[in-house]
Amino acid sequence: MTERVRVTETLDIDLDAGRWTCNRCGHDVGDAEQSYKEGLLVAERDPEEVHPRRAPEDSAYSFAPDPEWCRVLEFYCPGCAVLVEVEYLPPGHPITRDLVFDLTSLRAAAAR
């Protein structure tokens, strides 16, 4: 039987194969030694679309991040299109690697 560990609401690590998997559809997202985001679909969204205007049209403020200073990246499973992650980053900033695991230790803990 495949040993899987739940990591996030939508991602598991298959400890036997050392792979990220979507826990909704089972899609193989990529090598668990790398960032799971490398195996996901990425959509860049306009911050003003994500955060609709909440102020009058004549106001200088919209309550949305300035698109010249912020980009919104959404990461989706290629198998079932579930939203896995959202990042707010300055333009030009690399995608962050937010999860790093010692797979050897995870395997040892799962074996106990």
User: Does pTM top 0.85 for this prediction?
Assistant: yes
One-letter amino acid at 103 equals L
64-75 CB burial, b ≥16 within 10 A, e <16? bbeeeebbbbbb
| pLDDT tens, residue by residue, 92-110 | 999 999 999 999 998 888 8
Residues 53, 103: Cα–Cα separation, whole Å: 45
What is the extent of the structural domain holding 99? 4-106
Residue 6 forms beta bridges with which residues?
12
Asked if the model's pLDDT at residue 6 lies above 80, the reply is yes
Q: How many domains does the chain have?
A: 1
Q: Is residue 80 part of a domain?
A: yes
Q: Is residue 31 part of a domain?
A: yes
Q: Is residue 64 part of a domain?
A: yes
Residues 76, 24: Cα–Cα separation, whole Å: 12
Q: Is residue 112 part of a domain?
A: no
Q: Is residue 111 part of a domain?
A: no
Burial of 55 (0-12, 13-18, 19+ CB in 10 A): exposed
Residues 110, 15: Cα–Cα separation, whole Å: 9
Q: 1 pLDDT band (50/70/90 cuts)?
A: low
| pLDDT tens, residue by residue, 56-84 | 888 877 788 888 999 999 999 999 999 99
Least confidently predicted of 1-5, 11-15, 19-23: 1-5
Q: Is residue 50 part of a domain?
A: yes
- Give me the phi and psi of 80, to 5 degrees please: -130, 0
One-letter amino acid at 111 equals A
One-letter amino acid at 6 equals R
| pLDDT tens, residue by residue, 14-57 | 999 999 999 999 999 999 999 999 999 999 999 989 988 788 88
Q: Is residue 33 part of a domain?
A: yes
